Amino acid sequence: MTTSHALTDEVSAIDYCYEQGWTDGLPVVPPVRERVERFLAAAGRPAEEIVARHPATGRECSVQAAAINAVMAGCQPQYFPTVLAALEALNEDDYNFHGSTASTGGSAPVVIVSGDIRDEIGMNASVNVFGPGNRANATIGRAIRLMIMNVFQMLPGISDRSTTGWPGKYACCIAENILNSPWEPLHESLGFPPEVSTATVFAASGFYNIENHYTADPIPLLDTFADAMGSLGALTDGQSLVVMSPEHAEIVASDGMTKQDVQEYLFEHARRSSDEMRAAGKWPAGDDRDGLAEGERSDRVFRRGRSPDDILLVVAGGEAGGHSAFLPSWSRGRNSIYQTKAIGVCLDC
């Protein structure tokens, strides 16, 4: 993708990108040299520096290759440090880059941006946070997908074997609504200084809308969340992402519950008995976590995750509306752990 080609106009350049298989099915911005160089200047990193490697294909993504795909995705240069931070998070071993991109589970890398960078690059953290309409959100997420396809060659139907997939596989990037959150920002709760913005990447298999407009009591409201998180169709011991709307967060925090209190409550109540799991055929063969042999009755439970910290809790979305979201982990087991990286400073913006 580093070879120069003389093309007569933008339309023919877009068609050329289609012909090379460089798109996600939508038109891309032609990565002309001048655009790519502006992204490299914004990053302030050597073009040949390797940012991520794919363990199965052996392919590597350099800063230049990342810049080319960010241009094609429609990013602005000031978004590029955030793209690089997300890519570096994907590269961590515990994220399981290959499994999450190849599996039939059909995961999408959900990027959650926390910190002042949200305002600096104009990200949406409020109304329609998972939806269309914001260039930064849409193109940062899309840049990651284009790199997965173009650089690492994880191609739908070939090396990406998703059974159904979901629209998040085009792009899935949100910003935290810090201004309307009753709790500390995500980046601070993960141990980063207040002045350092971060990108967290979570391999999600889909999206569950959690609706409750009828209660102002924190406990029944959280029970609604726990019920969705503990559904037989979604329940594994993998991690989860809970994106709580400001309205729901305000209700939950009204009785003094901290973010940690919420995580602990959801961990305790997002569960099914071992009998229910076995009846649904979802108890893993040979799994003896309840201390009994497979097939024996037990009053032990199967929880969503292995500890409260496995529930990634973020406040985002519009200030009005009793709608939140639960995104389960991609795998049937515990094969991907969310990762967070600091976002560098844009040097030429």
pLDDT per residue as tens digits for the range 214-238: 999 999 999 999 999 999 998 988 9
Identify the pLDDT of residue 299.
Answer: 57
pTM of the model: 0.93
Strand 240-244 relative to strand 323-328, pairing: antiparallel
Q: What is the mean pLDDT of residues 158-180?
A: 94
Torsion of CA 117, 173, 17, 101, to 10 degrees: 130
Q: What is the mean pLDDT of residues 303-313?
A: 94
> Any bridge partners for residue 112, and if so which?
174, 200
d(CA 232, CA 226): 12
Give the length of the chain: 349
SS3 of residue 79 by DSSP: helix
* pLDDT band with cut points at 50, 70 and 90 for residue 82: very high
Alpha-carbon Rg for the chain, nearest whole angstrom, is 21
Q: What rounded mean pLDDT belongs to the chain?
A: 92
53-75, pLDDT tens digit by residue?
998 888 999 999 999 999 999 99
In this predicted structure, the answer to whether residue 293 has a pLDDT above a threshold of 80 is no
End-to-end CA distance of the chain: 25
Q: Supply the pLDDT for residue 274.
A: 84
Report the amino acid identity of residue 335: N
Contact call for residues 341 and 89 (beta carbons, < 8 A)? yes
| pLDDT greater than 70 at residue 204 | yes
Q: State the pLDDT at residue 9.
A: 76
3-state helix, strand, coil in the chain (%, to 5): 35, 15, 50
Amino acid at site 70: A
pLDDT at 292: 46
What would the pLDDT profile of 170-200 be if each residue is shown by its tens digit? 999 999 999 999 999 999 999 999 999 999 9
Report residue 267 as tokens.
Answer: 């961990």
Closest CA to 89 of 342, 349, 322, 265: 342
294: tokens are: 């497979």
